[in-house]
Structure 1
Amino acid sequence: MKTASIPLHTRILLALFLGALAGLAVHSLAGEAQWTIWLTDNIAAPVGEIFLRLLLMTVVPLVFASIVLGVTGLGDVRNLGRVGGKTLVYFVASSAIAAALGIILVNLMDPGSSLDPLVRAALLEDFRDQASSMQAGSPGFGVDMLVNIVPRNPVEAAANMDMLAVIFFALVFGVALALIPRERAAPLIAVIESLGDVVIKIIEMVMRLAPYGVFALIFVVTSRFGWSLLAQLGVYVVLVLLGLTLHTVVTLSLLVKFFGGMKPLDFWRRSRAVIVTAFATSSSSATLPTSIAVAERELKVPPTLAGFVLPLGATMNMNGTAVYVGITVLFLAQVFGVDLTLGQQVVVAMLGVITAIGAAGVPGGSLPLIMVILASVGVPPEGIAIILGVDRILDMARTVTNVTGDLTAAVFLAHSETSRAGPTFENPAVENPASESPAPAADNPVSRQG
């Protein structure tokens, strides 16, 4: 069988398995030998980083084009308020459920009491410098975080990957474009549609390299840490994975069934390309192109809704992060002997929801905000060093929950809008050439056309 005949998501999954196997073999046989360090630092890590950067470089133009076209495609600007309100309520509600689930699990299992003090001291020593560098750049919660959503300079916001600011500018731009006369807006809309098509074509080319990038990314993690670190933090790791699994399999399935009008098994079967990509890249932003394609082609979400909801979700709807924040903060509080009251735990849950909105959709994007939460409840922020070694593996798992949560939001919005009288989210004044294009090849999960 030729490699080209194997679906892309299957090749990515195979690369994930082989990379993990190779990394574990190198770690077990060679450990910290000089040649393994050289191999990781000079070959595997750069290959993985280049693959991630190739995907991330498309995120800003894709988010801008998708949101602008999504807003203009809603037609009447009043539809934006309705759809936007539903989207925000869904994001907050699902994230609140996720944060509460994480806190309940920690209270039931009490994982912090099982960590050996010697292991805690060793982990703090090994990762103290990394934690200190993160703390220096930690953002804060409050009014400033809200004010910074409005960019002084949208170009600067795009250059800094400040996605909340980019999204805000795109929303304002789209609303203004929808309010000007149709004949004046049509040429610019056509340009933005072309921009979106170009970005999608770039992504198609990049995704051909996905198996190699995925192999390199997972090889770096497993060759460096093996299973030893997982064993030291075993209860914590199992608890995080349990929380993510429960929220993903149970909560999101129920939301899809009762609010999205779709059978959960159909949803998971059609979303497999997104799941594999999210797990491999550990980045909601890097997975966004695949999420939009799968939503439109497999889940039959109208392009205007997919282009509006999913870019918002990649930045503002991180259910996996909400689960992770609740578990991590309470776990570290237990490790350091800080007894949190019920009121403080409620505050942690609320801050977890805010973190799920404000965290960057890139690997490790939530960690600086977790340090802020730790400080607010009396836990040493440098305690984050205890879990840094296993964070990348857990990041891969929680990214799956993050992006599938975004897909459930898109399914919910599509079901909600189509249940109204007529397709109110379509703009008859703007034709979308992409909707007339032939169906894409079956093994290409990133093409938006079809």
Structure 2
Amino acid sequence: MTLPTPENSSDSKSNVALPPIAQVPAMWTFIGLVGGLLGGLAVAFLAPQALPLVETWVKPVGEMWLRALQATIVPLVAALLFTGVTQTVAMASAGAMARRSLGMFLGVLSFSALTAILVTPVLLKLLPIPAEAGAALRTSLAAAEAGPVPGVAEFLRSIVPTNVIDAAANDRMLPMILFVAVFALAVGRLAGAQREVMTTFFAALASAMLVMIGWVLALAPIGVFALSMAVAASSGTAAIGALAHYVLILLLTGSVVLVAGYVFAVAIARQPLGAFVRAMLPVQTIALSTQSSLASLPAMLGACGRLGVRETTSEFVMPLAVALFRATSPVMNLAVAIYVANLYGVPLSPMLMVSAWIVAILVSLSSVSLPGSISFVASVGPIAIAMNTPIAPLALLVAVEVLPDLLRTVGNVTFDVAVTAAVDRRTR
């Protein structure tokens, strides 16, 4: 697959050659979650004497699956970030329209991440996590061991690692990600043959890691079943309440960016609100039914035509947006990490939030064209690690990603059309 360029604007994939990835439908993972919860409730209320058996035989299965998932995060993110930065730089050199588009993308992604930082804590104060539900998840999943909160000087020193391998091995995500981003920029300055070797290596590494994580996620129904059964067996119905509360907070936070898409269309793209709403309805219908921005691309091009966007602009910017731009990724991924931090009582200093803000923006560029479950793990995991937040709950939260993923897709296609219209207006 190749990145969309002026000569190849119909292809919306990234330049990572994605191999066939072992995936099971999200519904099977959700069924595993429901089955595990029901099985755990049966143990909790009907056969409490079986709880030691669940702790001995079932819970370790889920923990093994979780460990396998954790092992893939750092190399996967490093490889995908490298390819994401190189293709972004390549597009920036494609012309003024590409640079203007990328500038708007980065601006919206920065706003999206900031929205999570500002809105999610407020929502958690207004709608706090139910005490019993939070305690249930904390005791049933991996315990949180929050590290010391760094001061400003320590934070600034930590940005530049003395040993990037050590930083990756010890889950110091921000310095590792920044090093990879700068390394990718440096590779872009090499001679053609050397640059091609490095690009091919990281593309192959990303493809291999995607195969591995695909294998792990193919076992998601089993892993989620084991984890959720252990949680429900020890906590009863409280775990269900915690998952429902999480989905509610995530949807409310993401809705802010969805609404901001309409504001952006009116204020920046100068589109009449009524016309934009009417143009987006068929696009959002397809987005809801397919949960795919790529599948919605023809409808988005049609919406641009109805809004008076020039065909030359829409046929270039829209595939670029589908390939690189995920407006809702920073807000919703960072909201997940903030929720987990709140759940475990992890203190979030301003420096940690700055770190998470940067990581959320950078990893959103590295998760293009990935299946939903892989994107969830690859995007949220690094943010949680950067915030000293445990990632064990992600193994359960990925199973209830169905509803949040619908909002993600609707928000993404809305901003894709709005930004394309804004670029067209700026280039007239």
TM-score, scaled relative to structure 2: 0.59
Correspondence for 2:190 among 174, 180, 191: 180
Cα offset, 1:165, TM superposition = 2.0
Correspondence for 2:52 among 37, 45, 48: 37
Q: Aligned runs of 1:153-302 on 2, under 5 Å?
A: 153-227=163-237, 242-248=248-254, 250-255=255-260, 263-271=283-291
Deviation sequence 1:402-444 (CA, Å, 0-9, x none): 99769957985797479758xxxxxxxxxxxxxxxxxxxxxxx
**In the alignment, structure 1 residue 62 sits paired with structure 2 residue 76:** yes
Note if contact 2:112-2:331 (Cα within 8 Å) is conserved in structure 1. no
Cα offset, 1:102, TM superposition = 4.5
Deviation sequence 1:180-217 (CA, Å, 0-9, x none): 12122112222222212211222232222121111112
Cα offset, 1:18, TM superposition = 0.9
Change (3 A) 1:270 1:315: same
Cα offset, 1:305, TM superposition = 7.5
Give the distance between the partners of 1:38 and 1:352, measured in 2 at CA.
Answer: 40
Q: Aligned runs of 1:368-447 on 2, under 5 Å?
A: 412=415, 416=419
Deviation sequence 1:350-394 (CA, Å, 0-9, x none): 689547537994499489869xxxxxxxxxxxxxxxxxxx99978
Cα offset, 1:269, TM superposition = 4.0
Cα offset, 1:142, TM superposition = 2.5
Give the distance between the partners of 2:381 and 2:101, measured in 1 at CA.
Answer: 26
Deviation sequence 1:4-44 (CA, Å, 0-9, x none): xx96222112111111111111111133x3x412322x322
Change (3 A) 1:105 1:60: closer
Correspondence for 1:147 among 157, 162, 166: 157
Give SS of 2:188's match.
helix
Q: Which amino acid aligns with 1:19?
A: G
**In the alignment, structure 1 residue 72 sits paired with structure 2 residue 97:** no
Q: Which amino acid aligns with 2:52?
A: I
Give SS of 2:145's match.
helix
Give the distance between the partners of 2:285 and 2:192, measured in 1 at CA.
Answer: 42
Cα offset, 1:171, TM superposition = 0.5
**In the alignment, structure 1 residue 50 sits paired with structure 2 residue 50:** no
- Specify the alignment match of 1:134 in structure 2: 145
Give the distance between the partners of 1:83 and 1:27, measured in 2 at CA.
Answer: 54
Give the distance between the partners of 2:238 and 2:232, measured in 1 at CA.
Answer: 10
Give the distance between the partners of 1:394 and 1:351, measured in 2 at CA.
Answer: 26
Cα offset, 1:178, TM superposition = 0.6
Change (3 A) 1:168 1:217: same
Note if contact 2:85-2:184 (Cα within 8 Å) is conserved in structure 1. yes
Note if contact 1:252-1:408 (Cα within 8 Å) is conserved in structure 2. yes
Give the distance between the partners of 1:10 and 1:58, measured in 2 at CA.
Answer: 23
Give the distance between the partners of 2:337 and 2:186, measured in 1 at CA.
Answer: 33
RMSD: 5.3
- Specify the alignment match of 1:319 in structure 2: 335
- Specify the alignment match of 2:309 in structure 1: none
Give SS of 1:134's match.
coil
Note if contact 2:116-2:331 (Cα within 8 Å) is conserved in structure 1. no
Q: Which amino acid aligns with 2:63?
A: E
Change (3 A) 1:21 1:396: same
Give the distance between the partners of 1:69 and 1:58, measured in 2 at CA.
Answer: 17
**In the alignment, structure 1 residue 97 sits paired with structure 2 residue 115:** yes
Give the distance between the partners of 1:303 and 1:206, measured in 2 at CA.
Answer: 30
Give the distance between the partners of 2:243 and 2:161, measured in 1 at CA.
Answer: 38
Structure 2 residues without counterparts, runs of 5 or longer = 1-22, 266-275, 299-316, 361-378
